[in-house]
Chains A and B, each alone.
Chain A
Amino acid sequence: EAGVAQSPRYKIIEKRQSVAFWCNPISGHATLYWYQQILGQGPKLLIQFQNNGVVDDSQLPKDRFSAERLKGVDSTLKIQPAKLEDSAVYLCASSLSLSTGTEKNIQYFGAGTRLSVL
């Protein structure tokens, strides 16, 4: 079974430029998450989708970050314009939306995109 796919693996941009990250979740996973992981810290949720609807975007800096999940499958996270403090690893995760079973509550992660803002 294919895992969560993310691209690109690395991105280097200058401040005030724009950047976009792409995520393809595991087939059949209705819930998709974007996390930001700053060096030396644990991941922090930016946005959570259930199919193509937003469940939680309370931690998303909406003045510069945007995300969409058209058709309830792939998702794109965009930063415009980027700031130095946006340097981090951006992790995408997906999960089945089940109330019971062994897969319940398990989030599967992609390898992430490491963003460096200079």
Chain B
Amino acid sequence: GAVVSQHPSWVICKSGTSVKIECRSLDFQATTMFWYRQFPKQSLMLMATSNEGSKATYEQGVEKDKFLINHASLTLSTLTVTSAHPEDSSFYICSARFLEYEQYFGPGTRLTVT
């Protein structure tokens, strides 16, 4: 199957700082990328969907100014958590898809804000 990578796999940052998470599709062109957040012992919650070259579409309740998503190329999307706070600590998972075909998931990034 296709491969999606995320970097970093884990990150610790101080409250008030910003952190960027990268998501790459390694062997296919990702026309659509998805960002999910997963709190401990909970399900994956979709944060936003981005199509290459377009602005991301955020789910209700997700602050677009806090979670900046850029999908500038067909193989790379970034999620920037701005002015992170401890409540932003979570497991962030990206997913990528080419057109309407199968959706592949990255390994996730564990963010801890101290």
A and B: bona fide binding partners: no
Q: Which residues of B does A touch, CB under 8 Å?
A: none
Q: Which residues of A does B touch, CB under 8 Å?
A: none
